[in-house]
Every structure is written in structure tokens, then in C-alpha cells.
Amino acid sequence: MTEEYRQLTDGQKMLRYFYEELEAAFERGEPDLVLQITTFAGEAGVYIMPATAAGLKNVSEELGLGSGARAVSLLRRLDDEGYLRLNYGSSGPDVDIPTPKMEYIPDRGLFEIGELPHPDERFAAAIQRTRDVVEQSDLPESQKGSVLEAPGQNDHRTQDSAWVRRSDPAWLELVGRPGILTTGGHRMPEGDHSPAR
């Protein structure tokens, strides 16, 4: 069990480190980080290749991981599980010394280090904003209660759904899945909330 927690902690440290290094690269006008992965026995390691004449940065030493082999294993796991995205280009990962580029950290990695809110938190915030809008609306107090139904109040809807209804035909439903909005029963992609013309 201790190793499991160490993997979690070291994984979060590595994600945070690469996030900060990538942000620094963006500030310097570089679109990505170039890594060098060495897998030779006794010389295994993960390094950030410099864009200038500075030397390689040893990720294992920077993070206190104990060995370069641990850094290689951890990097592979984070990439395989979708926390990092490494682009190996046409050479692929199976060359002697791969040099993948890290162009960005996917949402899953950003959630893990707290740089993006978790979808459940975003959903809860959307529900709260909806409740606030209804409470501040000019609807009569007697109608406000019927506009917002608490999640799970209707037996044919899921416990995770929150439903917003308006008295006009273009009512909005906020479905209990992050990022899905529906108008009048027709799904719209997230971000496209313009009325039909």
C-alpha cells in the first residue's frame, strides 16, 4: 500500500513539475518541452532538453525520486494513463534514446494537480449559478419553487440530474452530465447556447 501512495505522490509531483516547466517554456516563447529518455541499465533517466546552451535537467534529481529508472517508469505510467501527452513523432518510443515533445498536459493531468476544477465541482457550480439566477429573477415567489426542482425529486430522472424548467417553450434542461446542455429536448454542444433562429 505504501508504494501505491508513493506512486500517487510522485506522480502528482511529476505532473506539477512538468506543468511549471511547460508554463516557463511558453513564457520563453517555446511551444513545447523536449524530453530525452534514457533506458540503458544503470543510466536510465528522464531529462528536459534545453532550448539554449544550458545543460540537461535531470527530472529524477529535480524531484528527488531516487533513481532515473523510477522517473522513466513514472513518466511511462503518466503517459499511458492519459495524465501526460508525449509526442514521439515518427521515431516512436522504441528507439535507443527517444526524445518526445510534451506540447500540453491533458485535462486529466490538470484535474489531478488542481489546475482545473473536477467535472463534479463544475456541475455543482452550474447548479448553484442556476439557483442564484432563479432566486434573483423577477418571477413571483410562488413560482420560483416550481422552476427549480431538487435533483432526484422525479422518479423517472436520475439522482444526479438537476432540472431547470421555464414556463416558456424554450426551457432549458441541465442534464446531470458535465458539459451537456439541452434545449427543448434537443442536445447542443457545450458552448453553443445561442437560440435557434
pLDDT in tens, 132-148: 888 888 877 776 666 66
Cα 166 from Cα 197, distance rounded (Å): 19
Q: Which of 78, 112, 146 is the last residue of a domain?
A: 112
Provide CB contacts within 8 A for 180, sequence distance 6+.
187, 190
Same domain, 106 and 19: yes
Co-location of 131 and 59 in the same domain = no
Q: Identify the pLDDT of residue 78.
A: 94
Range of the domain at 65: 2-112
pTM: 0.60
81 with 143, same domain?
no
Which residues are 164's β-sheet partners? 148
Of the two residues 45 and 41, the one the predictor is more confident about is 45
Grid cell locating 84: 501526460
Q: Worst-scoring range by mean pLDDT, 65-69, 125-129, 188-192?
A: 188-192
Report if residue 125 sits inside a domain.
yes
Residues 23 and 87 in one domain: yes
